[in-house]
Amino acid sequence: MSDVEAITALGDPVRRRVYDYVVAQDHEVGRAEAADAAGIQRTLAAFHLDRLAEAGLLDVVFRRPPGRSGPGAGRPAKLYRRSAADHVVSLPPRDYGTPAALLAEVVDALGAEGDLERVARRHGRAVGETAEGGVEEVLARQGYAPYRADGAVRMRNCPFHAVAREFPPLVCGMNLALVEGLLDGMGETGLCARMRARPGECCVEIASKNNDD
Amino acid sequence: MTDHHLAQLNVGRLRWPLDAPESAGFVDGLKPINALADASPGFVWRLTDEGGQDATSIHPDGDDMIVNLSVWESRQALWDFTYRSDHLEYVRRRREWFQRPTEPIMVLWWVPAGHLPSLEEALARLARLREAGPVPEAFTLRRPYEPDGRLAPT
């Protein structure tokens, strides 16, 4: 299925609600949970979940609930999670990924990470100075999918995933500088950004300076 | 378990001796990050010197060169430890402690599961990568090969 068709699958507002719920979770979601979250019947939730999976927007896994295994545990449940694939639609067609990868390779070869971080910090600060709303709102608008855990703000999505996967230290360092600049520009002097890379998440977390560990 | 494990060698030239204050940020990270590696999913083995803690006293090419030689169950396991754990912060800060390399400093190759590569074997793989670019016998994370010699999807 093409990227345009994938995006088109989100045209239905109920399906969009189901999608938004699933991708915001830190766990795989079954149809009952999705139905409750979207306020719809389970059969309808299952229909939308399967459509989203067909469109390549969600991945399907079959898993038994934790703690249940062996004979008598029943059939594994069908669960859904955010697709590992990116879907990009640009009309007219534009390709920013290729130049980003080429430029990253040059910065890497020149050892110019320091310059990239300086530029990123300046850019983040400029964005922060004019940003409306709180930190989590601003990060959410930029696609980071922030959530709170252990007193910190963490982010489920890396907006730079395609190029970060190819040049992790370079792009993750840029990202840290961007977020530091953003906090600075927003006048959030009580918060600090720091590296906390984990599989499947953004490499940065935001913590309060007071309970810094 | 798979028949093959992934070996990796990483070399670096220090900007200052390990006991210099400029190297402290790196040296302080050795113990926690080595412990993190040892406990990481898919970790198999890493080379240690006679001290048994790390490999910092092994200098194959001048006192300023240190090595990191390890074996992992898969590329994903190595990748997740390298770039998706607290290790990433040390990779990001590597220029504070290491000279900027002018040729490849990290090489990967497949070994039969159970085989622990020697440093000589590892250095030969690095030399191969440096002379031939990524090939099935000596490749990189950015251009990886499968154990059967096919180019891996990235």
CB pairs under 8 A between A and B: 41
pLDDT of residue A103: 97
User: Given a cut of 60, is residue B76 above it in pLDDT?
Assistant: yes
pLDDT digits (tens, 9 = 90+) for B39-75: 999 999 999 998 888 999 899 989 999 999 999 999 9
How high is the ipTM of this complex?
0.88
Q: How far is CA A64 from CA A32, A71, A72, B66, in A?
A: 15, 12, 11, 46
pLDDT digits (tens, 9 = 90+) for A182-212: 999 999 999 999 999 999 899 999 999 875 5
pLDDT digits (tens, 9 = 90+) for A21-80: 999 888 999 999 999 999 999 999 999 999 999 999 999 999 876 666 666 667 789 999
Q: Pick from B94, B16, B85: which is nearest to A111 by CA?
A: B94
Q: Do A114 and B84 touch (CB under 8 A)?
A: no
E-strand stretches of A49-208: 58-63, 77-82, 146-149, 152-155, 191-195, 204-208
* Gap between the Cα atoms of A6 and A59, Å rounded: 13
* Gap between the Cα atoms of B96 and B79, Å rounded: 22
pLDDT of residue A68: 65
Question: Is B94 an interface residue toward A (CB < 8 Å)?
Answer: yes
What integer best gives the mean pLDDT of chain B?
Answer: 95
pLDDT digits (tens, 9 = 90+) for B119-149: 999 999 999 999 999 999 999 999 999 999 9
pLDDT band (50, 70, 90) for residue A5: confident
pLDDT band (50, 70, 90) for residue B84: very high
What integer best gives the mean pLDDT of chain A?
Answer: 91
Question: Is B91 an interface residue toward A (CB < 8 Å)?
Answer: yes
For residue B30, what are the contacts with CB-CB under 8 A and spacing of at least 6? B53, B54, B56
Q: Do B89 and A195 touch (CB under 8 A)?
A: yes
pLDDT digits (tens, 9 = 90+) for A67-117: 666 666 677 899 999 998 888 888 888 899 999 999 999 999 898 999 999
pLDDT band (50, 70, 90) for residue A1: low
Residue for token digits 């990060």?
Answer: A139
pLDDT of residue A92: 86
Q: Pick from A170, A175, A40: which is nearest to B95 by CA?
A: A170
DSSP state of B22: G
* Gap between the Cα atoms of A59 and A80, Å rounded: 6
Phi/psi of residue A23, nearest 5 degrees = -70, -15
Q: Pick from B4, B5, B88: which is nearest to A169 by CA?
A: B88
